[in-house]
Amino acid sequence: MHERLSRHPAGFDWGWNPITGAGTGRTETGIDFGILRLRAGEKHTGDDGCEEAFLLMDGTARFRFDGQDVTCWRTSLFDEDPHALHHGPGAMISIRAETDLELVVCRTACNNEFPTILFDPATILESEHRDKGRLDDASYRIVRTIFDKRNRGDANLVLGEVINFPGRWSSYPPHHHPQPEIYHYRFTDPRGYGHAELGEDVVRVRALDTVEILDLNDHSQVAAPGYGMYYVWVIRHLRGRPYTVPEFTAAHAWLREPEPACWRPKEKT
């Protein structure tokens, strides 16, 4: 198994399941990333010493923060836009599971203060149907950016989701950036799989897998035909080098032209 791939074929336990960062010995990304599963009625309080984001994956959650009490739910990663609570150091928040609950949690060190926000489908930064109508729709995907520097200028994290249609590519054309990133995968079918590029390496990814992306590695993805692929993506800004847009690999940057001169089969006369 690739050293940057974490696999959990048996699923996740109840409670906190660390994948990268504290307790795993894999701290190169500077991000603590894991899965939090709560039984109905259980409560979790946030870490007020760092920046933290909770992304709702499944179930009904009651979020309490800054005098607000908001209940939200999710039943489909593929068909529903996200809810995510994001707070900075010093914030006091709690999450109560109204039903059995699963959340992605990502944390990083941060010295900046900013208000806690519960992003919902109406307030996430964007949900974009990217590259629809280009390259024969071969890299058409849905990119949901929850927050980045445009709407959370003092944060050290960027958070989003991708819906990768069956048999198509995403994170394409090949690109890279110096800022570390994490992808965490789910599929429309438990038999589903895809392939993830990590520089010159290619790894097969399945449901509940996580990859760490470092060292300016290109990281295009593709889903096997018949299987929709979903992944969470989280990026950590570097000091003095915030993430804005990726650098597309020079050899393939021409594919971003409005009408790239790609091969097409000749029509028979």
Architecture of the domain made up of 13-252: Sandwich (2.60)
- Beta-carbon contacts of residue 204 (< 8 Å; ≥ 6 apart): 193, 194, 195, 196
3 state SS of 145: strand
> Taking the complete model, does pTM exceed 0.85, yes or no?
yes
3-state DSSP call for residue 32? Answer: strand
Domain edges within the chain? 13-252
The tokens describing 122, both together, are 């109406």
Q: Using 50, 70 and 90 to split pLDDT, how confident is the model at 68?
A: very high
Q: What is the DSSP letter of 80?
A: S
β-strands 181-187, 157-164 pairing: unpaired
- Whether 269 shows a pLDDT value over 90: the answer reads no
Q: What percent of the chain lies above the pLDDT cut of 90?
A: 92
pLDDT tens-place string over residues 17-67: 999 985 455 558 999 999 999 999 999 998 889 999 999 999 999 999 999
Confidence of residue 97 (pLDDT cuts 50, 70, 90): very high
Distances (CA, A) of 214 to 54, 60, 107, 136, 199: 23, 34, 17, 30, 9
